[in-house]
Amino acid sequence: MHPTPAAHDLPMMAALSHIDGGDLELLLERFLVSIVEMSGAKAGAVRVLTDEGDKMRLVGQLGLPDHVVAAERQVARDCGMCGVASGRDMLVWMDDMGSCARHSRQTYFGVQCQRVLVISLPHGQQIMGIYNLFFQEPVELSVQTETMLRLIGQLLGLALHNARVERERLRVTVMKERQDMVNEVHDVIAQTLAYVKMRLPLLNAAMLAHDDLNSAKYFEDVKKAVGEVHHNLREVMTFFRARMDPLGLLNALNGIASGFFDRTGIRLEIKNSVRNLGLSDEQEIQVFHIVQEALANTAKHSRARAALVTIDTSRHGLEFVVEDDGLGMAVPSASTIVTMAKESTTNAHFGLEIMKSRAQRLGGTIEVCTSEGGGTRVHLSIPSSVLSAFKCH
């Protein structure tokens, strides 16, 4: 008989419920150390089902000989009692070591290992994998210990499910960002290149006709447009060079803030009073790039000492405000909805146009004004109706 789990095991169990893909292997090692010690086992292993569902892959182990690890690295899903436990939620003892011994072809199972405990890793109606405890002697565990082992199996099943969901979310996010880049290139570059394509035949005709006046005019048009394309391309690359944090918008904004002073000499504070933003993944990406562009303008043009990003709610919806204590921006009035003409080619106007376009995709609005202290204030508002639509889905 073995004692019930001690209180020091509880923090480890809590950590399992918050596991993510990056911490998976590290926490599995901590998990196995605690479980092997608690149960009195000589070794432990965790196996997860492959994406195809036909095999079980060894993702963590403690105390197994090297030749056993090599032989057990991947086994068929229907292998022995492990295969049975991979199909339904259960805790089962295995005393016949014959099927396991056939894998390693050496004297471990049945000699150094006399008994194996197999525990499922469930999440809802799905089994994510199993874990094994290997015993040198034919021991018995208390009911309390077996209950704790099953509970840990459920927590580890949840952890593996969360890690899988996080990988899928990251994959979808990357795909969306790639599509956004394609859309951005089309919106801000393709149209200008089409303009250049129309101007080149006119330039050619003027040159052949020795029309110096029109030749110079069309040349300047093309030169100006090519310069705009070059600038726009650099801006697009800047937007997408900083990848969206797969853990979400707030983590991404905190990531910007953590190194902002070192890069710019401007103190940046993120002040958030909203517990649940209620934004979809696509909305979070758009908001992130709007705030990123506003902060880029602050860094390049404001000569500010401090900047603040505020996230709050109002009766209208969700509000994001980026403001600084710098020189302010050259906008037409103290409080102006951003409706800059597309022919404007200044850096500031281009950035505002991009922010406006992103806000429109969100179903929101952008307002740029001079703050009370004389700096710049960028206000993004997302209506409650848009947020409610995404919350329902």
At 59-68, the pLDDT tens digits run 888 999 988 8
The pairing of strands 376-383 and 115-123 is unpaired
Separation between Cα atoms, residue 111 and residue 101, nearest integer Å? 10
Q: Which of 290, 278, 265, 296 is nearest to 385 (CA)?
A: 278
> pLDDT at position 277, please?
87
Domain topology for 245-393:
Heat Shock Protein 90 (3.30.565)
Separation between Cα atoms, residue 223 and residue 51, nearest integer Å? 53
Global model pTM greater than 0.85: no
> pLDDT at position 348, please?
54
CB within 8 Å of 360: residues ≥ 6 apart: none
Residues of the chain with CATH 3.30.565.10: 245-393
Question: Residue 324: beta bridge partners?
Answer: 307
> pLDDT at position 22, please?
46
Give the architecture-level CATH label for domain 7-167.
2-Layer Sandwich (3.30)
CB within 8 Å of 51: residues ≥ 6 apart: none
> pLDDT at position 322, please?
95
Of 37-41, 188-192, 203-207, which range is least confident?
A: 188-192
CB within 8 Å of 41: residues ≥ 6 apart: 35, 63, 117, 133, 134, 135
> pLDDT at position 23, please?
56
pLDDT of 34 above 50: yes
> pLDDT at position 240, please?
58
For residue 369, the SS3 value is strand
Give me the amino acid identity at 179.
Q
> pLDDT at position 310, please?
95
Higher-scoring residue by pLDDT: 283, 135 = 135
pLDDT of 284 above 70: yes
> pLDDT at position 307, please?
94
Question: Which whole number is the average pLDDT over 92-112?
Answer: 83
Residues of the chain with CATH 3.30.450.40: 7-167
First-residue to last-residue Cα distance in the chain: 51
Separation between Cα atoms, residue 95 and residue 116, nearest integer Å? 7
pLDDT of 293 above 90: no
CA 345 to chain CA centroid, Å, is 34
Question: Residue 254: beta bridge partners?
Answer: none
For residue 382, the SS3 value is strand
Proportion of the chain above pLDDT 70, given as a percent:
81
114's tokens? 């006399």
Residue 80 gets the label, from left (phi > 0), alpha (psi -120 to 50) or beta, of left
Of 91-100, 110-119, 122-131, 383-392, which range is least confident?
A: 383-392
